[in-house]
Structure 1
Amino acid sequence: MKNKLTIGILSALILQGMAAEQGMNEMWGESTVKLRAENAARGQLFDEGNYAMFIHWGLYSQLGNKVDGKTYYGIGEWIMNPRMAGIPVEEYKNLAKTFNPKKFDAKAIAKLAKDAGMKYIIITSKHHEGFAMYHSKACDFNVVDATPWAKDPMHELAEACRAEGLGFGFYYSHNQDWTFPGGNRGPTTDEKGNPATFDDYFVKKCLPQVEEITSNYGPIEIVWFDTPGNMPKKYVQQLVDVVRKNQPNALVSGRAGHGLGDYQSLGDMEVPHKNVDGMWESVDTTNDSWAYAWYDEYWKTPKEILRRLIACVGRGGTYMLNIGPRGDGSVPERAARSLEESGAWIRRYPQVVYAADASPWEHALPWGDVTVKGNRLYLSVFEWPAGGKLYLPGLKTKIASAKLLLGEKSSAVPYESAHGWTILGLPPVAPEKLVSVIEIELAGEPEVVPTFGVDPDIGTEILADFASVAGAELSQKRWMEKFGEWKSVHHVHDWTADAKATFEVSVLEPGDYIVSLTYAGEGRLVWGVDVVGGEHIQNQQNSSHNYQEFPIGWINFPEPGTYAVAVSFLEGDPALASLKSIHFAPAR
């Protein structure tokens, strides 16, 4: 569960009055009085809201990843960089002369965030390319002084957020600046040809701009610094000091560097599989690019947004989901539609998301995920069991009641226990189109054996993250599908002759199960799977450079109980064999 920040006296009094009137659970629902961002204690919206909007918007947005008729595939905010289009500094700065986003509508964006169920908005005030999306007196390369539009959209958005009861904050690239002399990856000489140092950039632009964004736009929820690189600690400390002075209620992102942030920010697009301690967030985007890319129509569906949001809350964190407005300021319609549809679900089930804690199982379950409030478990069922039974392994606390929710209505759910499992009886058809919710009220605090149960109806995948490994290596691997589109996997690799990756599983229904492995490699590989103390199977399958699932065979669990299942690598190139997961499915 997350470490909670202390609530200030003012906010405590506000919350006490609201809770007395409507109940703490309802505080985050649409039926309640708005909690205005300026009344929130430091980090409250982050810690209890659990869901936010990220916005990447700048000069790069009007290019949309197309330069001189050529499309560059990858994250749009890096289009200027040599790894993308390599646009020279002066040529890029000239783009400001045609930046005229007349379709920007701050009120519509704030309303979209509110309708999506988000609690605050963080927007790019200056990205790595150095263009300020607000009126900066420190540098005239900004949206007011350098463009025909000549408006400060940040004032409008800050006001619109406050009108909707949302928090507001800024992204600021503090280390990289590709257009200002001395900034990391920027020009090495000034306009007079004199050598420029990082100190020149920091003193003349970075520090004064952080003063500006923390002084001129009202209460700030977060200052989201990014990519500190090798920036010396003394500079980061000065920036944090400015935030503390001007915005004492604001959080500083972990990407400030040197451990000076208030919380951990995971890798781009990373949703963890295991519970993570402390205060943390996952940053993700509605398609594959953060900034607008004209070709990128691979949008997350409403169900996928909810899956990733609830996974983050279930692992103990906060989910910040990005949109990339077009160069004219408009929001892509398909992104907005997915956000609105998932937001409508959140309005029906706010208790699943807001002020909710991590799952005591510490990982997702085959049919979905779990979040917690006090002695109530909220089971978000993404894969409705066709057999009419939902299986919950390892719950030790006695159940007081179980209900299937349908908005504000509910119906009792029958349940029974067997061999350490709880079995819930469900109707044949899911009541919700996206995600159905079961509320379990416990007789006390949740106590769970965080086991992986082999579900008798639904296929069960167990990731390599959860294996005990001997004779091989278990580590995280990250790669880009397109430039800046990060993927990651925990994998078992560098296998030796006697290496084992062992998974502990709980079995309710004995019998035969089909075992598959998801792996990557080269050529034909032979894998073995053993029920420790039981039967051994092995098989040869082909492999691919990307991860694919291959069947190995059937194994038998002779009776209910806990088993160790070991995977071994028997033949092929052990240097390239990479195991991602094991999968069990009932053989019937």
Structure 2
Amino acid sequence: MKHSKTESRKPDLDRRLKWWRESRFGLFIHWGLYALPAGKWKDRPVPGIGEWIMHRGKIPAAEYEKLAGRFNPTRFDAKAWVALAVEAGMKYLVITSKHHDGFAMYDSKADSYNIVDATPFGRDPMKELAAECRKAGLRMCFYYSQDQDWHHPGGSGNDWDYPDRTTKEFAHYLKTKVKPQLKELLTQYGPIGLIWFDTPWWITKAQSLDLKRYVHRLQPKCLVSGRVGHDVGDYGSFGDNQIPVGRIAGDWETPATLNDTWGFKTDDHKWKSVRELLYLLIDLTGKGVNYLLNVGPTAEGIIPKPSVDRLREIGEWTKRNGEAIYGTEAGPFPCEIENCRFTQKGRRLYVMLMKWPRNRRLSLVGLKTKVRRAALLARPTEDLEFIQTSCQEPTTHQLEVKLPAKKTDPHVSVLVLELVGRPEVDPGILQQPSGKIELNAFMGKLHPSRTGRQIRLNPTGATENWFTRSNSISWTFKMTRPGTYRIELGTSLARRQPKWVGNHKLTLAINRKKTTRRIRAQGWRQTPRAQYFPEAITRFGTVTFKKPGTYTARLKADEIAIASSTDAGGIILTSIELFPQ
């Protein structure tokens, strides 16, 4: 999704986005009738995520809606849910007021298919949550499925009950169900932080704009998420669990799961560790992206214990280190730095250490601004020794900080660098202290074809639309350590692409040496970013540099293997990595 850089600078939008930008961390809640079957229908497991059971199982609407008669979450406790979000350090709460199954989880007069009229529970949990959010100072927000509605004949997504839906019927659905329900949500529950729309499949650009304007008319300060469709949202939404490669311009958010499913599913026990979750929090924050982390309560109204335990432990970390998260900007470095992530606030640079250096030395390359003081956030009164230098041929700036023997946090320790001014860094590609050189796609120069489909970058920083041989990409980088380097090329898959595509034939030219290889999956990158969007490794041999200096690399395609002419990606290059031998 493209997000206008100029739009994010509009004073009115800046004012409305201020709270959201400062929040950085929010709670997503997927809760609905789908929590009852919890991944099984008529005692048979239905593959896929829990809240999509009606779609994956092609369950008739007349049969699925009978779940409402059994939905009675008597153990729902709005106060406890909100308290958990606050304890975890989250600043806003987004909950499914209506998901794709079409069932409203609030008291809707626009459609009787709702939790008050159709269930024995008879209460409005949205009203209770809104009241508790106000008390706790948490922003109340609603998820609303504006496009897919598997219960309504005009909504998209249900092709087993309503195979002949027309655009006229879809427009009628927007007018008679979507807008009336949005009006209810925006007039009956107090100030709403944002409306989180989703899956804009059928909706036209004019209809997306109309919904955005409708929300703003009802509540001018309410934000509209990027998934309203057609790049017209107030901020951008990445794909589910999608992590960008480097720092991102504009305003973005990644919705993410604690396990694999969003709605509760009894057999999903693939819980991410607290360390993984904290890594994602600091990784996204360091790239200027909000982290919206999901829980899926049970049909009884209970947030599963593994979710509770993890959120509480994350909260222990945010209590100690929240200064490095809330109200910060993306770190100044354009790319990922080994074992570190960065945020900044004024003249302070926060260095979040994912791995404690064995030699007790933190080495950074590329920071130009003079460091005035260094200390650990957990020990703010204890000054740390440091040395800051610069050298020529090629010009590099180096910082080395002497750390104590033991880390200050079991997961992520935070170092604070107080600078003489705002952080300024070398914008180019630099060799890391380990010797590694990473040529990220988003830091390369694209050479688009003059005709046909032109190579471009997707929002995460990887290439896309690379379908013709006349497209290419090049880099200029600084190398300080002569020697021989092993080359690994990483390729991924596009959003909603069903599987990774290889077999392209590419030629890489570095330091006057050309190497041609077929793209094969000779290994897979083991990073949180690659968990849901796998990155295959192809080995490209070695290259030798005889002296330090500035070098260039260029990647061209000799043959492109595409599964389908409508494939959205083509060659999805994430980066080329050079490792010292």
- Give 1:530 deviation, angstroms: 4.8
Partner of 2:216: 244
1:525 Cα deviation from its structure 2 partner: 9.0
Q: 1:450 to 1:427 in 2, by over 3 A?
A: farther
1:532 to 502, 511, 518: 511
Q: Which piece of structure 1 moves more, 443-452 or 364-373? A: 443-452
Q: Tell me: CA distance 1:412–1:51, structure 2 relative to 1, closer, same or farther (3 Å).
A: same
Q: How does 1:393-472 map to 2 (within 5 A)?
A: 393-406=365-378, 408=380, 410-419=382-391, 420-424=396-400, 425-457=402-434, 459=436, 461-468=438-445
Amino acid at match of 1:563: Y
Indicate the residue corresponding to 1:80 in structure 2.
54
Residue 578 of structure 2 corresponds to which residue in structure 1?
Answer: 584
SS of the residue corresponding to residue 452 of structure 1 reads coil
Query: Does 438-447 or 466-475 show the bigger shift?
Result: 466-475
Corresponding position of 1:226: 198
How has the CA–CA distance of structure 1 residues 107 and 271 changed in structure 2, closer, same or farther, with 3 Å as cutoff?
same
Between the aligned partners of 1:168 and 1:460, the Cα distance in structure 2 is 44
Aligned partners of 1:427, 1:551: CA distance in 2, in Å?
Answer: 38
In the alignment, the residues of structure 1 paired with residue 129 and residue 217 of structure 2 have an alpha-carbon distance, to the nearest angstrom, of 23
Q: Which residue matches 1:562?
A: 550
1:324 lines up with 2:301 in the alignment: no
Q: 2-side partners of 1:286 and 1:355: how far apart?
A: 24
One-letter amino acid of the structure 1 residue matched with residue 151 of structure 2: T
Q: Measure, in 2, the Cα distance between the counterparts of 1:458 and 1:286.
A: 34
Residues 180, 187 of structure 1: 8 Å contact kept: no
Distance of 2:519 and 2:16 partners within structure 1: 54
How many residues are paired up?
A: 540
CA change 1:100–1:460 in 2 (3 A) is farther
Q: Which residue of 2 aligns with 1:364?
A: 336
Q: 1:337 to 1:559 in 2, by over 3 A?
A: farther
Q: Is the 8 A contact 2:522 2:537 kept in 1?
A: no
> What's the counterpart of residue 352 of structure 2?
380
Letter in 2 for 1:584: L
Partner of 2:330: helix, strand, or coil? coil
Task: Note the C-alpha offset of 1:7.
Answer: 8.8
Change (3 A) 1:388 1:418: farther
| Aligned-pair CA distance for 1:212 | 0.9
Counterpart Cα distance in 1 of 2:135 and 2:474: 54
Q: Distance in 2 between matches of 1:528 and 1:260?
A: 38
Q: Does 1:391 align with 2:363?
A: yes
Residue 497 of structure 2 is matched in structure 1 by none
Between 549-558 and 306-315, report the one with greater CA deviation: 549-558
Q: Distance in 2 between matches of 1:392 and 1:492?
A: 35
Structure 2: unaligned runs, 5 residues or longer: 493-499, 525-534, 563-570
Tell me what 1:56 maps to. 30
Q: C-alpha offsets along residues 245-282 of structure 1, whole Å, 9 cap, x if unaligned? A: 43232112222235543222222222222333233222
1:209 Cα offset (Å): 1.0
Mean CA deviation greater in 368-377 or 414-423: 414-423
Partner of 1:44: 18
Identify the match of residue 41 of structure 2 among 43, 67, 82.
67
Q: How many Å separate the matches in 2 of 1:254 and 1:224?
A: 8
Which residues in structure 2 correspond to 1:463-542 (within 5 Å)? 463-468=440-445, 474=455, 490=463, 496=469, 501-519=473-491, 530-532=509-511
| Aligned twin of 1:253 | 225
* 8 Å CA contact retained: 1:189, 1:196: no
For the pair 1:296 / 2:268, whether they are aligned, the reply is yes
* Paired residues of 1:395 and 1:449 also in contact (CA < 8 A): yes
Residue 238 of structure 1 and its aligned partner are, at CA, apart by 5.0
Task: Report the counterpart of residue 575 of structure 1 in structure 2.
Answer: 561
Provide the C-alpha distance between the structure 1 equivalents of 2:573 and 2:289, rounded to a whole number of angstroms. Answer: 27
- Match of 2:419, as an amino acid? L
Query: Within 2, Cα distance between the matches of 1:423 and 1:558?
Result: 26
- Contact 1:421/1:508 (<8 A) preserved: no
> Is the CA contact (8 Å cut-off) linking 1:524 and 1:541 kept in structure 2?
yes
3-state SS in 1 of match to 2:190: coil
Separation (CA, whole Å) in 2 of partners of 1:522 and 1:122: 35
Q: For the Cα contact (< 8 Å) 1:501–1:566, is it kept in 2? A: yes
The CA RMSD measured in Å over matched residues stands at 3.7
> Matched residues, percent identical?
36
Structure 1: how far apart are the matches of 2:32 and 2:515? Answer: 56
**Which residues of 2 match residues 155-304 of structure 1 at below 5 A?**
155-185=127-157, 197-232=169-204, 235-304=207-276
Q: CA separation in 1, counterparts of 2:472 and 2:522?
A: 22
Instruction: Report SS of the residue matched to 1:110.
Output: helix
Deviations 1:389-408 (A, max 9, x none): 33322222222222233265
1:505 Cα deviation (Å)? 3.0
SS in 2 for 1:156: helix
Deviation, structure 1 residue 372: 0.9
Q: What is the 5 A alignment of 1:103-122?
A: 103-122=75-94
In 1, distance between residues paired with 2:161 and 2:410? Answer: 59
Helix, strand or coil at the partner of 2:409: coil
Structure 1 residues 435, 48: closer, same or farther in 2, change over 3 A?
same
Q: Which residue of 2 aligns with 1:483?
A: none
Say whether the 8 Å CA contact 1:130–1:180 is kept in structure 2: yes
Per-residue CA distance 1:95-130 (angstroms, 9 max, x = gap): 111111122221221111111111010101011111
Q: 1:540 to 1:154 in 2, by over 3 A?
A: closer
Q: For the structure 1 residues 269 and 189, does the alpha-carbon distance in structure 2 shift closer, same or farther, using more than 3 Å as the test?
A: closer
- 1:151 deviation in Å? 1.4
Deviations 1:396-421 (A, max 9, x none): 22222222332655441312214323
**Contact conserved, 2:60 with 2:161, CA < 8 A, in 1?**
no
Deviation at 1:320, TM superposition (A): 1.3
Asked whether the 8 Å contact 2:503–2:561 carries over to 1, the reply is no
User: Alpha-carbon deviation of 1:312?
Assistant: 2.4
Amino acid at match of 1:564: T
CA distance in 1, matches of 2:232, 2:296: 28
TM-score where L is the length of structure 1: 0.81
Write the distance in 2 (CA, Å) between the matches of 1:422 and 1:447: 13
Aligned amino acid, residue 146 of structure 1: A
1:152-176 Cα distance to aligned partner (Å, 9 max, x none): 1111111221222111011111222
Provide the rounded CA distance (Å) in 1 between the counterparts of 2:240 and 2:405. 39
